[in-house]
Amino acid sequence: MALSSGSWALPAPVPASSQQPACSGPAPAACCSTVLMSVRVSVSHSGIRPLCLPGAGSDSLRLQLSMDPNIAGEFRLALRDTSGNRSVFIAEFDLRSVQYEVKSSRCHEMRLAAAPLDCIRFNFRCDREAEAWSTVVLSSLREAHRVANINACESDGKHISEAAPDQRTSTSLLLIEELCSELSKAIEAGDIQAASQHASALARQKAVLTIQPSPKNYTDGEISLSVVVEDASSSCCVTVIVFPYMSVATLKQQVFLEYGFHPRVQRWVIGQCLCADPRSLASYGVQKDGDTAYLYLISARQARVTRQLFQQDLDNSLLASPLPLGSSLTSQVWRGYSTLPSKLPHNNQETGGGNNKASDIKDVLDFEKLHLNDRPNKANKTQQTDWACPSCTFINKPSRPGCEICATARPDLQTCIQQEKGRREDRREPGVSSS
């Protein structure tokens, strides 16, 4: 059972002040430290600088391990003379500057990692005390070296962060991953001090991170989200299977893959809030089946989405998240990338524009699977999409999730349909009476 220097990257040499010879009073570092364990030992020393160990071989010597609670990885190993009524520090060492090895059940050896490479052997009174001491000191030694390695990498963090991503060494990436894991554990455990230290270490390296809550924080299972899709001329209602922990950006990608609407043309409104990409659906109140969201589509020209950009992003998305066989986008060529399609003109209507008009129709998204509601074609598009506020009866534009006058929430789709039927009947009544 040994821990040698070969297992750990040696930190910078510890200043001579951290290795204190015999003195007449307690060391200042020990005064503000927390003692982890103290045991009686006898010692034998060999080295270039023999230590003055009064009472060596007797029961007056105590081996003491302490730590500074305010500094991570700061452990001190000290020898104290407790003969008579006094307590004198004979020697004290920074735990990062030593190698500690268990020689036998009652004999341990400590060597200094730097010159003059002194060696001290500790003999314990019983196996139980020796085993308990080795458990504490070896775990503390591992923690001290771990923090020392992190600090050593932090000192080079500036050079690492300025290098190109492909120039980062595997060691630095391993360190960043370890820090992220430790940060996650510290936050979950509520350890503010450790979390602050790990976050500071990552900040010094300017690591690019993606931080989001774990799915454990959200409602389990998928839910059916009712989505009202609208553009400047038409609307429909679809059901999208989502998870509450999904971000709005992920939802945009899902709609992109399933229906062909580029993320740039999508504007999501949930709970009268314009959704931001980083936030989760749960943060907007999406928790159960049937919750409603509104998807408003702007034109590709307004979103600056070209055919080339659309196809490139679609290919990348398909590679990252392959769709199951038979999916519409895997078997169809590129279709419209901007808005919901207008209804095709009747045969008795003029279709001006020639080839341009035919090209526009050809480029429209095949929207049959969205189950568009069968509505008669109307000359007045405003009547087709506007909705009446149930409180103040103000006629609102289709793009508003709430009333422009009184801020009342927009009624559901079924209520809008009933309102539209009522307005039609009101318009028919005068004509019926005149006949």
**Where among 274, 302, 331 does a domain terminate?**
331
pLDDT computed for residue 73 by the predictor:
79
Angle between helix axes 170-189 and 127-155 (nearest 10 degrees) is 120
136 and 171 in a single domain? The answer is no
Say if pTM beats, i.e. exceeds, 0.85: no
**pLDDT given for residue 294 in this prediction:** 92
Examine the domain organization and report whether 411 and 304 are in the same domain. Answer: no
**What does the alpha-carbon distance between residue 323 and residue 70 come to, in Å, rounded to a whole number?**
52
For residues 11 and 56, membership in a common domain is answered with yes
Asked if 6 and 143 sit in the same domain, the reply is: yes
Q: Tell me the torsion sign for CA atoms 212, 214, 217, 218.
A: positive
Neighbouring-strand partners of residue 3: 100
The pLDDT, as a whole number, for residue 394 is 77
Per-residue pLDDT of the chain (435 residues; tens, 9 = 90+): 443 333 333 334 444 334 444 333 444 444 457 888 888 888 877 654 555 554 444 567 888 888 887 787 788 888 888 777 777 888 888 888 888 888 888 899 888 877 666 788 888 988 888 888 888 888 888 888 787 777 766 665 555 555 555 545 666 777 788 888 888 888 888 888 888 888 888 888 788 888 877 777 776 678 899 999 988 788 888 889 998 888 899 999 998 888 888 999 999 999 888 888 888 888 888 888 888 999 998 888 888 888 888 888 888 888 876 544 334 443 343 444 444 544 334 444 444 444 444 444 334 444 433 434 444 444 444 444 677 787 777 777 777 777 777 777 787 766 666 666 676 676 665 544 443
Residues 194 and 227 in one domain: no
pLDDT for 115 equals: 67
Number of domains in the chain: 4
DSSP sequence for 90-157: EEEEEGGGEEEEE-SSSEEEEEESSTT--EEEEEESSHHHHHHHHHHHHHHHHHHHHHHHHHHHHHTH
For residue 214, is it within any domain?
no
Q: What pLDDT does 49 receive? A: 52
Does residue 237 sit in the same domain as residue 139? no
The backbone torsions φ and ψ at residue 224, rounded to the nearest 5 degrees and listed phi first, read -95, 115
Mark which of 104, 122, 147 sits at the end of a domain.
Answer: 147
**Residues spanned by the domain of 291:** 223-331
pLDDT for the residue numbered 155: 61
Q: Does 132 share its domain with 262?
A: no
The answer to whether residue 362 sits within a structural domain is no
Q: Is residue 359 part of a domain?
A: no
Residue 128 lies in a domain: yes
**196 and 261 in one domain?**
no
**Sign for the pseudo-dihedral over CA of 196, 202, 208, 209:** negative
Extract the tokens encoding 60. 């007056």
Is 132 found in the same domain as 17?
Answer: yes
CATH number of the structural domain spanning residue 233:
3.10.20.90
Q: Which residues contact 211 (CB under 8 A, 6 or more apart)?
A: none
Residue 217 lies in a domain: no
Q: Are residues 232 and 268 in the same domain?
A: yes
